[in-house]
Structure 1
């Protein structure tokens, strides 16, 4: 009897295991009964995220020729999980927003945070007290208050917190909000100045770590849930505005000995902590110094980066992102800031500004990035306000004289990604056969594929969208970006 029972148990276990293996086995992607819908934005046309083609058919193409331009997509090869795309709600953005009419405010919120009527932003970055895009320098405590007894976010409750809450509501609550400091209060630094760099004094490490906790709790009390933090905005830049220098070792030790344990003790271990938050050039060195230390690494969710390394005259170092992803595949890569610098009203509609976004997003995602955050979501007709004259472009500008919203090419380029790629989508293999085209692709959880293709040439091109031995013939206009859904 015992043998019979044992045998039955083995049979049942084998059957259950077999069924589980069948259920877990990935079903190969099929383009059967799928057609392609195409959205296009193109220079020197009126096309702006415009549906230009529907029901484009797939046909057999067993072997492409060398003479055929192709984009090869393999949905069975999956990579990182998509977090989202968004921008920063700074003091400047909130102050300009407050000057708009109610109608323009409603239009603006939908333009960014509605999936149906806008481009579906799902990430918000914000500043911990002042940054350059504030009307002036300020902190949340009285000067010299290391115990933080005077801590208050009352300043932010006038403009910034209401805008963040409206954005979250417009997005249906599905937004990841993270915050970054530009500088500790002046009394905590060796220079006694929030501007012009300087360093956090060791005797204030704990007080500064407590400051982050106070910020999180205060914002959450006001109805703004905080998803994550970066340790320091641009920790290797001595700027004319709020800035603070950390060497890699200093940032590592602050995370390991102060900020990480303080968040843990405060019951905030679920806060996603991101290090570096600076350009791609030193990304590898900073990641290695911090993540090779197990005690520091355990507190770190990801590595953040910006795109300004080309200030030196060189090219953007996209490959550095991929190298760090290879080195630390268990950590997340997050693009935390980028904008077009040196505002010029005459260049508001410069197409190349949008192309800079398109190329960066394609190449950053292809190198393992999970989320992408633009800088200010809104600035005025002068590229501000900014208390140190560091005026920049944003995807939308609000003309405070006329009340009009000005949509720039950057808004539409970002939208070709953010409107269609859903949270938890998987990036899939997407390869162009020639350098004239750039591409990336994602597989949404509902099974829909999103392929983005960009043409930076001055020629109209025909290419084949190839899935296995099938392809759809597509035309892309000069200087255009397309989103293909199928």
Structure 2
């Protein structure tokens, strides 16, 4: 072969080699997986987590201002996703026990199966009673400061069996964390578990020891405890179980009692969540606790709720981002939210689902790593609740008929929990118009999940733009979509 022919052959071969797609680049759309599976839930339709479209990416051009677009940039990644779930309260467990075996399995699948349901991976529970119990109780006899009578027999009847069955349905693993609503009455300034009050200084160590007893008892039952929060809603004096901790009070209990006691007991790896209350005051609480090195070293992060709207204002989503900005080494977790004030006529009110969708998107886009709903199940009265604080849940059971009632909130949560899996990474995602809200996560298997919510009363066609690829997607009015597509 002539030298000039050899040279031409080598040049052609090199061009072919270097023209091959970079299959190991995690930020490049897969040539073999350019299709987008679209799942939709929409008002005034039968669409409920329904697969509605399979689309194909095409090469993108410059978007123009009249277009509506959702821009996804896989190279810009943020926090690691921990999970989404709900709380197994006494109320939920008591209602579950009244269901038939068939309905119990349907319910478990609905929440905890990745294939048959929405794949919850996170669980909260209470340390003894909350308002969503049939009555107040603790794990010790009144006055037992040495905790010699400590036992969790109360939980064995309803709550522990449900936790175990939920965990089994989820594949044997759920991250479980627990929160107290109040110390026992004898440890408090008002000598009552209800109506606020404060922890008496002389019971700081006994109350810290109580947490240790709880963790050990639950883990002896084969239920690993991932973490605890210091106090549910520490600035709310409620007619139900409640206890007030100022920011300084929570800081000092954490650094002087709870943190050292957890470490001494060999539970230094358990996560401790501070605040566990609304977004309105979370920044002040973060400043006080996280600015104290001796307290901060024990705090994994901060939990928050969504009830700041009780005062008539809008949700304070930006406060979450401000904590993340100020304390980037701390984690943020949404620990409770529900639709307050039960009304049987509002089971199917669409705005309730949209409240969940908006909160989840904003909270994750502001740095949240996990999101936990309140009661996973309530009955046809919005309870049981021993002080009449009846609320809505994503699923209700009518214990007179045995029927399970699925609300829009269930489906809106499912657009996230079913598709975004633990250890996914959040990816930069920005809509170009205010009608749409959106967030994206990259799962460890290379699948990208983009959730888009249409808050408007009109159908919207938007361009999903990823790298230099685009696809036109239509979303109905008052709808939420999950788009699943492959990145290598």
The residue that corresponds to 2:39 in the other structure is 39
Please state whether the residue corresponding to 1:303 is helix, strand or coil: strand
Is the 1:31–1:467 Cα contact (8 Å) retained in structure 2? no
**How far off is 1:31 after superposition?**
4.7
The residue that corresponds to 1:111 in the other structure is 110
The residue that corresponds to 1:336 in the other structure is 335
1:283-324 alpha-carbon deviations (Å, 9 max, x no partner):
100011001011111111110000000100000000000000
Please state whether the residue corresponding to 2:369 is helix, strand or coil: strand
Please state whether the residue corresponding to 2:31 is helix, strand or coil: coil
Matches within 5 A, 1:309-348: 309-348=308-347
Please state whether the residue corresponding to 2:138 is helix, strand or coil: coil
Is the 1:273–1:301 Cα contact (8 Å) retained in structure 2? yes
Is the 1:86–1:122 Cα contact (8 Å) retained in structure 2? yes
1:156-190 alpha-carbon deviations (Å, 9 max, x no partner):
00000000010011101221000000000000001
**How far off is 1:443 after superposition?**
0.3
1:322-366 alpha-carbon deviations (Å, 9 max, x no partner):
000001111110000000000000000000000000000000000
The residue that corresponds to 1:3 in the other structure is none
**How far off is 1:27 after superposition?**
4.3
Structure 2: 5+ residue stretches without partners: 1-23
Is the 2:87–2:375 Cα contact (8 Å) retained in structure 1? yes
Q: For 2:31 and 2:319, how far apart are their aligned partners in 1?
A: 38
TM-score normalised by L of structure 1: 0.94
| Superposition misfits of 4+ residues, deviation over 2 angstroms | 25-33
Matches within 5 A, 1:303-382: 303-382=302-381
Is the 1:343–1:383 Cα contact (8 Å) retained in structure 2? yes
Q: For 1:27 and 1:480, how far apart are their aligned partners in 2?
A: 30
Is the 1:134–1:386 Cα contact (8 Å) retained in structure 2? yes
Q: For 1:468 and 1:215, how far apart are their aligned partners in 2?
A: 49
The residue that corresponds to 2:13 in the other structure is none
The residue that corresponds to 1:461 in the other structure is 460
The residue that corresponds to 1:5 in the other structure is none
Matches within 5 A, 1:288-303: 288-303=287-302
Is the 2:74–2:467 Cα contact (8 Å) retained in structure 1? no
Is the 2:26–2:446 Cα contact (8 Å) retained in structure 1? no
1:36-94 alpha-carbon deviations (Å, 9 max, x no partner):
0000000000000001012x011122200111100000111000000000000000000
Q: For 2:39 and 2:443, how far apart are their aligned partners in 1?
A: 17
The residue that corresponds to 1:403 in the other structure is 402
Structure 1: 5+ residue stretches without partners: 1-24
Q: For 1:109 and 1:65, how far apart are their aligned partners in 2?
A: 47
Is the 2:70–2:431 Cα contact (8 Å) retained in structure 1? yes
Please state whether the residue corresponding to 1:412 is helix, strand or coil: helix
Q: For 2:42 and 2:173, how far apart are their aligned partners in 1?
A: 30
Aligned residue pairs total 462
The residue that corresponds to 1:250 in the other structure is 249
Is the 1:63–1:469 Cα contact (8 Å) retained in structure 2? no
1:248-271 alpha-carbon deviations (Å, 9 max, x no partner):
000001000100000001111111
Please state whether the residue corresponding to 2:273 is helix, strand or coil: strand
**How far off is 1:469 after superposition?**
2.2
The residue that corresponds to 2:167 in the other structure is 168
Q: For 2:442 and 2:279, how far apart are their aligned partners in 1?
A: 27
| 2:80 matches 1:49 | no
Q: For 2:35 and 2:26, how far apart are their aligned partners in 1?
A: 20
Q: For 1:281 and 1:67, how far apart are their aligned partners in 2?
A: 37
Is the 1:29–1:76 Cα contact (8 Å) retained in structure 2? no
Q: For 1:30 and 1:136, how far apart are their aligned partners in 2?
A: 55
